[in-house]
Structures are given as C-alpha cells and as structure tokens.
Amino acid sequence: MSAPKKLYIKTYGCQMNVYDSERMAEALGGKGYVETKTPDDADMILLNTCHIREKAAEKVYSELGRFKHLKAEKPDLKIGVAGCVAQAEGEEIIKRQPMVDLVVGPQSYHRLPAMEDAVRSGAKALDTDFPEDDKFDTLKTRAKGKRGPTAFLTVQEGCDKFCAFCVVPYTRGAEVSRPADRVIREAQELVEAGVKEITLLGQNVNAYHGHARGLAGLIWELDKIDGLERIRFTTSHPNDMDDALIEAHGTCDKLMPYLHLPVQSGSDRILKAMNRKHSGESYIRLIERIRAARPDLLLSGDFIVGFPGETEEDFEDTMSLIREVHYGQAYSFKYSTRPGTPAAEKPQLPEDVMNDRLQRLQALLREQQQQTQAAMVGREVKVLFEKAGRETGQMIGKSEYLHAVYAEAPADVLGQVRAVRIVEDSPNSLKGVLL
C-alpha cells in the first residue's frame, strides 16, 4: 500500500468553517489523505477562508505567497482555496495566483474527491456552484473513530435576512435546512464516537425548518439521545427566537444556559438602515422573556460600531442598550465595507471616529464580562472536561455557561461532566476545585 498523502487545512472565521474543514478532511480521507499539522510536509494545502470583514481576500493572497517556496521544492504539492473567499473571488484567485490548483466554494466541498483527481492529472479545478445535489447527502457518513467530547454539527446554512452590511447571503446563499432525521443520525454517530456535547451550527440557526417544530423540535429530538449530555446552538437572529425555543431554554435540561443573540446596534435609526427588522426595544423585551424562562442564562452578542450614518447619539443608544441588557460575553467589530452589499454604497465614517467608539464599547463590554466572571466565584458549576491544562494535574473544560474552567483533577475526568466549585476568576477563565 502506498503511504498516505498528507493534507494541511488552515481554517479561518466561524465555527461553520471548522465543521466544514472536518468534513473536507473526511471527504479527502477517502482519497488516501491524512491530516498533518504543518504545511511543510503536506501533499495538499487547503485554506478554508472567511470573507465576513475587510481585507479577507488580501490576507489569503499573502498567505498563499508564503507557500510559494514549498511549491517550488515540491512540484506535486497541490494548493486549494475553499470557503467564502473562494465563493466570492472564484476564478480570480487562479488568475492572480496561478500556483493555486483548486478553488471550491462552501456548497461544493462534497465534490472535492473528483476535483482532487482533476488536479492530480495537472488540471485546475474550480467549483463555486450552488448545486442542486445537497452536499450533506453526497458526503459519506462520518468516520467512526474516537472523538473528543465536543463537536459542531451544521444543521442550517445560508441566510435570507440581507442585513445591509453582510456578505453571508451572497457567499453562503439562501437559507437551507438539513432534514431533522439526517441531523439526528449524525448526532447519534457523534455520540457513539464519544461526543457528549453538540453545538448546532447555522448562519441563522434558529430559522431552522428541517423539523416541523423548528429548532426547538430538533432540540427535543436530540434530547432523547442517551449519552448526549449537552446541546448548544449558534448563531441566532432575534426575529427567529420563537416561543417554543424560548420555552426550551427553561424546560430542556440538556440545552445549556448560554445564548449568542447579536443585536448589532442599539439605535433604531441604525437598525433600520441595517435592515435588521427589529428595534432596540423589541430586542430588550425579547431578552426579558428569555430570561424569564431561564434566569441564569449567560447572554452573548455581536456589535458593529461606525455603520454608515452612525452619529454619536446613535452610538450612545448602543451603549445604553448594553447597560440595560448586560452581556456576559460579546464580540464587537468596526464596520467594514463589503463590496456588493447595500451599505457599501454609503459614505463611510472616519477611521478615528470608529476606533474611538470601538474602544469605548469594548471597555464597557469588558467590564460586564469581568463582572459576570467575578459573580461566578463561590458558585458550583458543571464542567465538561475537554483537555489537560498547561500545568501538570490540571484539566480544562467548559461550564454550562461556556466559561473556560480549570481545576486540579485526575486524567479520567476527561470527557466527563463533573461538579466544580469556582474559587477564582480572571478575565478569560475561572479556577475551580473538583467536588
């Protein structure tokens, strides 16, 4: 038997890309590839790219430049670009960087084995279709090998919301949900392989419609799987938080008390210009209802500062919303012009204004995050231990609130959910003792 070929995948961007990279590796596994952690000994390099903010394409081109010497040393090395930059740039990538052999969009990676044949015969391969055949159906079932205790599972892709700043509806296409029975089967297989916690993924995951009762219906089906202990989902849109999903946060024990629910801005004027189709007030009322169902829920959000036309008053509205809601965790970004999106046509704010607002916003969010971390001290949490820590005897895992928790513990806690008392907080993690 010939030695396995080596595949190096570098993943950028969101968790959906992490999931896609795993599936691409599995698809190429059938062609005799095993994954390697370094590009230096690879027979194929794949960059799984993200296009959500500026300069993404430029970063990809400069990263590709770094592989030039590898290609010169090893002419058989094949280089591919996958993901959303591949979708957005298409053929342009091969024109600008002729050493690229393969360009594959996020909806086409089930075609990678055939594309690999083509590039091995010396041809270039390009596929950025939104094909009729569903990649999830065409991909073979997942390998049975033992896995870590947590896994991502993509259940929905694409977005029909068309927020004025966002490229996702263009790069990932229209909203598509995977049928519930397929998702459940994949979840069962993950659990058989040792997975205890599944995070359901979708660009707009709570718009999931592969089950008659939506995402809540799917969650309740997954709840029945013995051995699956925790369910999470991300990312959601406020307008798709239906009653059943809110209720599940209060009644489904396996559904973890953590919710990522981006609002982007607290100004109704800006929310309207962003085409978000909700107001600051309606978002706050929604949070109240979710917290009534699950009072200890840890809330996370996304914010954009400096959207075209944002005044100091609009920005202050965002700060007020943050003060009112109180976030345990958050991601914030300077507005970044995405060609082809409606907002790209509008005059941009000066960079120094955006920088200043981002700093103020992040200071407030950091303060809230630290308060949330500090409030955990003395509390008992349940930690799913995932890996050994840097210091001997130390194990690291996640609490139900997604806090990173480390504790002195024997190695056999790995893969188990154990009670831990929090004794110390720091900005990004918590220290606990095993109970």
> Which residues are at the interface with ligand 5AD (CB under 6 A)?
52-53, 165-166, 262, 264, 302, 304, 333, 335-336, 338
Cis peptide before 235 (omega within 30 of 0): yes
- DSSP-assigned beta bridge partners for residue 303: 264, 332
Q: Decide if 176 contacts 132 (C-beta within 8 A).
A: no
Count CB neighbours of 301 within 10 A: 22
Residue placing its CB nearer to ligand SF4 in the complex, 240 or 356:
240
Residue placing its CB nearer to ligand SF4 in the complex, 228 or 343:
343
CA gap 301, 277 in Å, rounded: 17
304 sits near ligand SF4 (criterion: CB under 6 A): no
Q: Which of ligand 5AD, ligand SF4, none does residue 203 bind (CB under 5 to 8 Å by kind)?
A: ligand SF4
156 sits near ligand SF4 (criterion: CB under 6 A): no
**Backbone φ and ψ of 190, nearest 5°:** -65, -45
Q: Which of ligand 5AD, ligand SF4, none does residue 260 bind (CB under 5 to 8 Å by kind)?
A: none
Angle among Cα 273, 274, 277 to the nearest 5 degrees reads 95
Angle among Cα 271, 276, 280 to the nearest 5 degrees reads 50
Q: Decide if 182 contacts 136 (C-beta within 8 A).
A: yes
Q: Which of ligand 5AD, ligand SF4, none does residue 162 bind (CB under 5 to 8 Å by kind)?
A: ligand SF4
Q: Look at the block and give the residue holding tokens 């950028």.
A: 12
Stretch that binds ligand SF4, among 124-132, 160-168, 212-220, 347-355 (CB under 6 A): 160-168
Q: Which helix (H) or strand (E) holds 86?
A: helix 83-89
Taking CB under 6 A as the criterion, the residue among 51, 161, 249, 398 binding ligand SF4 is: 161
Q: Decide if 208 contacts 236 (C-beta within 8 A).
A: no
Residue placing its CB nearer to ligand 5AD in the complex, 126 or 322:
322
CA gap 90, 176 in Å, rounded: 22
CA dihedral 6, 10, 16, 22 (to 10 degrees): 10
CA gap 426, 380 in Å, rounded: 17
Nearest approach in angstroms of CB 64 to ligand SF4 is 26
Give Cβ neighbours of residue 71 (< 8 Å, ≥ 6 apart).
Answer: 77, 79, 99
Binding residues: 14, 50, 84, 159, 163, 166
Residue placing its CB nearer to ligand 5AD in the complex, 12 or 67:
12
Residue placing its CB nearer to ligand SF4 in the complex, 28 or 166:
166
Taking CB under 6 A as the criterion, the residue among 7, 46, 166, 190 binding ligand SF4 is: 166
Stretch that binds ligand SF4, among 165-173, 371-379, 400-408, 416-424 (CB under 6 A): 165-173
Q: Which helix (H) or strand (E) holds 398?
A: strand 394-398
169 sits near ligand SF4 (criterion: CB under 6 A): yes
Residue placing its CB nearer to ligand SF4 in the complex, 19 or 162:
162
Binding-site string for ligand SF4 from residue 191 to residue 210, where x marks contact by CB under 6 A and - marks none: ------------xx------
222 sits near ligand SF4 (criterion: CB under 6 A): no
Q: Which of ligand 5AD, ligand SF4, none does residue 336 bind (CB under 5 to 8 Å by kind)?
A: ligand 5AD
Nearest approach in angstroms of CB 16 to ligand SF4 is 10
Q: Which of ligand 5AD, ligand SF4, none does residue 333 bind (CB under 5 to 8 Å by kind)?
A: ligand 5AD
Binding residues for [4Fe-4S] cluster: 14, 50, 84, 159, 163, 166
Instruction: Indicate the burial class of 52 (C-beta count within 10 angstroms; 0-12, 13-18, 19 or more).
Output: middle
- DSSP-assigned beta bridge partners for residue 151: 198
**List of residues contacting ligand SF4 (CB under 6 A):** 159, 161-163, 166, 168-169, 203-204, 237
